[in-house]
Structure 1
Amino acid sequence: MIGVYSGGIWKIPHLNQLIGRPCCKLSVRSAVPGDVVAIAVWGMKENTALPAAKARAANVPLLRLEDGFIRSSGLGVNGHPPLSMVVDDLGIYYDASHPSRLEKLIQQEVHENACSQQAQSAINVIVAGDLSKYNHAQPFSAASHQQPFVLVVDQTHGDVSITLGGASVKSFHDMLAAACEENPNDEIWVKTHPDVLSGKKQGHFLGNFSEPRIRLFSQDVSPQSLLRYAKRVYTVSSQYGIEALMAGKTVTCFGLPWYAGWGLTDDRHPLAESLASRRGHATLLQLVGAALLRYCHYINPTTRKRGTLFDVLQTLQLQRQHMISCSGHLWAPGLTLWKRALMQTFLNTPQNRVSFNKQSPTATACVVWGVNGEARFNQAAHVQNIPIWRMEDGFLRSSGLGSDLLMPLSLVLDKTGIYYDARRASDLETLLNHSTLCAVEHARALALQQTLVNSKLSKYNLGKQWRCPSAATGKRILLVPGQVENDASIATGTVGIQSNLALLRTVRERNPDAFIIYKPHPDVLAGNRPGHIDASEMARLSDCVAMDADIIDCIISCDELHTMTSLSGFEALMHGKTVHCYGLPFYAGWGLTQDEYVCPRRNRKLALADLIYQTLIVYPIYIHPQEKRVIPVEAAAQWLMAQTRPGKKTHRITRWWRKATNLYRVILN
């Protein structure tokens, strides 16, 4: 049991998981209980003296806690709880006066070199994903700044990492003077700390500089996006230093931070030589491996249990991508109450604004529902000179029909076109045309495929269990899935065949001896959408009609799937089936399907892993239906697997009641 005196520490969500042991709240007026094996305090604050004395008296270790180096989506001073924490039994990483547990772990990593591969993967994700300790800031845009600059990093006044790193206020002024002297022909940008920009703390530089080439950079931008344009970096003890090393920059230190003294930085502190003799030499991978993979403790943001660095990086990258993708003043006009509630849930971020008025002259983008919404508001967006973004349901949507107003797990936001419109490019098509998966991404795609196949998940996840009739034994079994005939994917993704009846006739004519299963679309069966084929025609052209069947059961039973543009073709590919396309769905044209037509824009042969990764992992936005937060596709799949699939066909009055109930829930939440 870990004893905690601090009320602030005790309020940290999931404290037990972050520390790695059960915790209990202690009172300074009582003796330390016998089952307490250590006492935890926050860093080197002044209020840690009494708990430290209590720990000495009870002869138990003192654990010093601090935020981890990859902490959260937003600032801690703004109330964002930590996703990582360091637990140090020797000191704390920013106290250079004696070795911390981190220093020992780095030296251990130098000898063992156990984390280099994972460390390189982490660096790749952090740099490419523009991730940092806090991840709320927009990326830096260098449109008006063509020349590289020298970056001088300010810190908050009175930060304990400054004093315990052997530095002072003078260190900051010496640092700026050195940057100017050593880079006489470059602009010098002094970067203000995010906590100063938020109004919570004060910095060391106010902007009254003697030289015009010195600029106080007071924009709150992400570190990696700014470092891409920096020529070199000067710091006292800021985390910017290790982030700059990961970005491949030269780093000069005027304090004694934890990443100095290992031969990787240009150290200017008077005690730098003695620190280096104590620490020794280490590579960047060894520093990162020890600090991020061995020193920090993490919580899985999805399960809220003990997690890994990559659990946190994946979630932060998702949240960051969503924030950036949905930035600006988004105008979503002409929506039903239901669609408005959906868009509010999927588009809203702390940094943007979403409005649903008839007019919005200050909007930066117009968000519409599919191609029909685009046709309706294209002129209005053109007049305002703003782009149109299209939204649609994702590919793992819900446990029930969208037309029954069930809250979706996923939507897609496409700024180029939309995935089902084969007449033009889309964001998904661009992703597929440029897909180059690394080993980790490839493995993730295959693992997701296995999960979906094993769990039999589909877009709607409804229908009764179904088995192929014995009459099909020994025959080639073809599955023909029906579609909603007024669906936009029919209008924009087909060339010749545009109805269920025409498709079924064509498949029968070309395959007279095959056993053909026709699967009506669930929206058509529910009476919500058009696409019905007369019963006599279904009986004449098919050998079996799977009325209320689970689409995945049908796919498992067939040898081939024949479709116009149905998503079931993509699902059949994941189940290893041959797919014939009579239109141009998003998954056609990549060498994975038998295609009736050619799309000249799709100019690559892809592996199935590429299609799965870009379509299911990168392209959609997944939002937890209850918690209203961005989640990865794996968490969405787990949520769907936990739901009960409706199997019976419901009465029309029951469906309308269900629609009203779902609308009420979404609007209130």
Structure 2
Amino acid sequence: MDNVAPPRRSLLILSKGAQQIPTLPALLPEYRLLCGTVGDIARADDVLAWGRKPSALRAKEAADAAGLPLITVEDGFLRSVGLGAEDPPLSLIVDPLGIYYDATAPSRLEQLIAQPLTLAQSDRARALQASWCEERVSKYNSARIETCVLPQPCVLVADQTRGDASLQGASAADFEHMLEVALARHPQCTVVVKVHPDVVAGRKQGHFDLAKLRKHPRIHLISKNVHPAELLSAVQAVYVMTSQLGFDALLWNVPVHTFGMPFYAGWGLTVDALPAPERRQPVSLEQLLHAALVEYPRYVDPETGAPCQAETVLAWLGLQRRMRSRLPHSLQMVGFSKWKQPLVQDFFNGSSIRFLGRFSRRRVAAPVITWGCQHDTPLSGKLGRHLGRVEDGFLRSVGLGAKKTRPLSWVFDDLGIYYDATRPSRLEHILQNEPCAPGLLQRAAALREAICAAGVTKYNLPGTPWKRPAGVERVILVPGQVESDASIRYGAHRIRRNLDLLKAVRERHPMAWLLYKPHPEVLAGTREAGVDEERTSDWCNQVVGDVPFHSLLSEVDEVHVLTSQSGFEALLRGVPVTTYGQPFYAGWGLTEDRDLSPDVQARRTRRLSLDELVAATLIRYPTYVSRITRKFTTPERTLIEIQNWDEVPTQGRTPTWREMIRRLLLTVLKPRLRQS
């Protein structure tokens, strides 16, 4: 009985907005959340107040009347991708004393800032500061990474939204005074005025007359949503009332002038127009950062829903910013089937998407992205610049694409596409020209080992393991392919049929035990078998069907392929591979290649290690989107999702009646199709 945890206290949430926050249970795990009204106060042990909002004042009145403790919470300083209404907070502040932006009373943050740090804590604070700048993050992170050209030299003045609780009564006149001081102190500089993102979004009002500012000869107005990281590296100083932009500026080592009393003022790190409370005495920047980013907030992992550290959220938000910014603002999509179109919105999040018909005559300025390379010639010169092609990635899903199983990875290629050996691809360019840093190679090795340990391949289909016959000395696995597939059309050289591949392997290895495995989509009946594929048993010792591919690889001595990704999966597991086509992994010294064209040999001249191949193919080249969050993720997280595929509730399952009709049609029509 001594190990039984005490019952959680019931925390009453009166705010309708707070009741809808999905991350709140994970951010407040010590409480049992009770979403209700004042009438439920008798069931509560504590009452939640969100900052100093009107709903918080009502919560305080209810708590005082019932004699219950008030728990004040607020968003953390590293919050989310988008604004409040779009993305739930990934960090939360719980303060039993006050709240950080109310300098009229003590807060828990003030106490934490004043505490001395150990050497390890100081090192962690400096590492967080470096990561903050490297990942280019802030409290909100929906703005794209874009070059913001500012007049030089310049200083930055930050506006805030009217009624912001952190302003502590500051008025439009106070903001005007701050602007006048900035103009006077920096007579040789342009003063850049940044409007708050909520004002840009039209949700709230600011403090400046924007029309008046536009007429001032020394003022440069930024009225669009520009991320702080794009500004702070280009300014000489920052002027704020209480905005978090001042905190960002400290992280970027930019001088900060405050005209209110934000949480980071009064510690000897800023130039302050107002006297600081006596509670605040000089501290190091590391003390401020460790308190504000490590000790004061609590964080939730956006992918697991579990509590985590600041570094996890910071890295995830940095990934979102990079991936959302990698392509132009507006894109046209051609050749994406209806079921893929919602996926496009996820894999190209950050860009405005428009779907066009394959032979649309309308020409617009936005660049074009196509599914595969079959549209290159028909679209040439018709719609605008062809930016690139998309295909499934190499860690895809549990299930076949033909059955519309949601993919976890796509590849985008602006040069060609990985299976098209007739021309360079972005993957080939990376492999040929871009060296790997030691840290990336270590990551690739760890990913490769994790994939092998998990038994994960591209499709990860179930089946019965195969055992090699007793007394057989040499087993060669020959994976079949869909002969109409683009990888054969653009990646094969002389041999282009499964049967011809088997014949070539048999001629070279007459005494080996040849094991032929048809392609999973051919076995599933979703793609046609190859020409004379029913004769493959004449040229091999055994044809295997629903056998998990990773289990086959542990039983065979070699794998011989045309262009199949199976050869790459064999390489991951240390199985020797011979190619009879020109797959992306051939020509780098890792395979025995029987039929590379002179052009491919001339382009692929580097000798690579296996982990260099893995780093390019599984880390650098693909785009991964989580099935859980529908946000960008990493190959490591994708591997975990594949391993736990059935534990994730999927959205939009096929209705039962549709599934019944589909099965009925397959049962009735497939025999007739075979007869015809």
TM-score range, shorter chain: 0.7 to 0.9
| Corresponding residue number in structure 2 for 1:559 | 557
Q: 2:199 aligns with which of 196, 200, 225?
A: 196
TM-score normalised per structure 1: 0.83
Unmatched 5+ stretches in structure 1: 646-652, 661-669
* 2:515 alignment partner AA: I
SS class of match (1:554): helix
SS class of match (1:80): coil
| Corresponding residue number in structure 2 for 1:312 | 313
CA distance 1:605–1:247, shift in 2 (3 Å): farther
| Corresponding residue number in structure 2 for 1:292 | 293
CA distance 1:408–1:577, shift in 2 (3 Å): same
| Corresponding residue number in structure 2 for 1:18 | 27
| Corresponding residue number in structure 2 for 1:157 | 162
Deviation at residue 194 of structure 1 after TM alignment: 0.5
Deviation at residue 5 of structure 1 after TM alignment: 3.5
Q: Does 1:303 align with 2:304?
A: yes
In the TM superposition, 1:50-199 aligns within 5 A as 51-52=59-60, 55=63, 61-76=69-84, 78-108=85-115, 110-116=116-122, 119=125, 122-142=128-148, 147=152, 149-163=154-168, 169-199=172-202
Q: Is the 8 A contact 2:498 2:533 kept in 1?
A: no
* Paired-residue identity, %: 38
In 1, distance between residues paired with 2:565 and 2:589? Answer: 17
Deviations 1:406-431 (A, max 9, x none): 44333222233222223444343455
| Corresponding residue number in structure 2 for 1:353 | 353
SS class of match (2:242): coil
Deviation at residue 64 of structure 1 after TM alignment: 1.5
CA distance 1:62–1:329, shift in 2 (3 Å): same
Deviation at residue 237 of structure 1 after TM alignment: 2.0
Q: Is the 8 A contact 2:347 2:623 kept in 1?
A: no
Deviation at residue 66 of structure 1 after TM alignment: 0.8
Q: Is the 8 A contact 2:476 2:560 kept in 1?
A: yes
In 2, distance between residues paired with 1:288 and 1:214? Answer: 32
TM-score normalised per structure 2: 0.82
Unmatched 5+ stretches in structure 2: 1-8, 648-661, 670-676
Deviation at residue 65 of structure 1 after TM alignment: 0.8
In the TM superposition, 1:237-252 aligns within 5 A as 237-252=242-257
CA distance 1:168–1:534, shift in 2 (3 Å): closer
Q: Does 1:367 align with 2:369?
A: yes
Deviations 1:131-183 (A, max 9, x none): 322222233334x657453222221123221227xx55454334323333343
Q: Is the 8 A contact 1:39 1:62 kept in 2?
A: yes
Q: Is the 8 A contact 1:463 1:549 kept in 2?
A: yes
- More displaced, 46-55 or 286-295? 46-55
Q: Is the 8 A contact 1:67 1:82 kept in 2?
A: yes
In the TM superposition, 1:389-468 aligns within 5 A as 389-432=388-431, 433-434=433-434, 436=436, 439=439, 445-462=444-461, 464-468=463-467
- More displaced, 621-630 or 243-252? 621-630
* 1:141 alignment partner AA: T
In 2, distance between residues paired with 1:626 and 1:48? Answer: 32
Deviations 1:407-456 (A, max 9, x none): 433322223322222344434345554364574x6665455434432332
In the TM superposition, 1:466-615 aligns within 5 A as 466-471=465-470, 473=472, 475-512=473-510, 514-526=512-524, 528-532=527-531, 534=533, 538-540=537-539, 542-590=540-588, 592-595=590-593, 608-615=610-617
What RMSD, in angstroms, separates the aligned Cα atoms of the two structures? 3.7
In 1, distance between residues paired with 2:438 and 2:240? Answer: 34
Q: Is the 8 A contact 1:106 1:282 kept in 2?
A: no
Deviation at residue 89 of structure 1 after TM alignment: 1.6
CA distance 1:63–1:343, shift in 2 (3 Å): closer
* 1:64 alignment partner AA: T
* 1:206 alignment partner AA: D
Q: Is the 8 A contact 2:23 2:90 kept in 1?
A: no
CA distance 1:176–1:584, shift in 2 (3 Å): farther
Deviations 1:200-254 (A, max 9, x none): 2122222324741311111212221233333433222211222233334333333
* 2:333 alignment partner AA: A
SS class of match (1:332): strand
| Corresponding residue number in structure 1 for 2:282 | 280
| Corresponding residue number in structure 1 for 2:642 | 640
Deviations 1:283-318 (A, max 9, x none): 34x433332233222223233343443443454345
SS class of match (1:354): strand
CA distance 1:466–1:80, shift in 2 (3 Å): closer
In 1, distance between residues paired with 2:343 and 2:633? Answer: 16
CA distance 1:608–1:246, shift in 2 (3 Å): farther
Deviation at residue 13 of structure 1 after TM alignment: 2.1
* 1:173 alignment partner AA: E
Aligned length: 635
Q: 2:271 aligns with which of 267, 274, 284?
A: 267
In 2, distance between residues paired with 1:659 and 1:103? Answer: 73
* 1:200 alignment partner AA: R
CA distance 1:79–1:343, shift in 2 (3 Å): closer
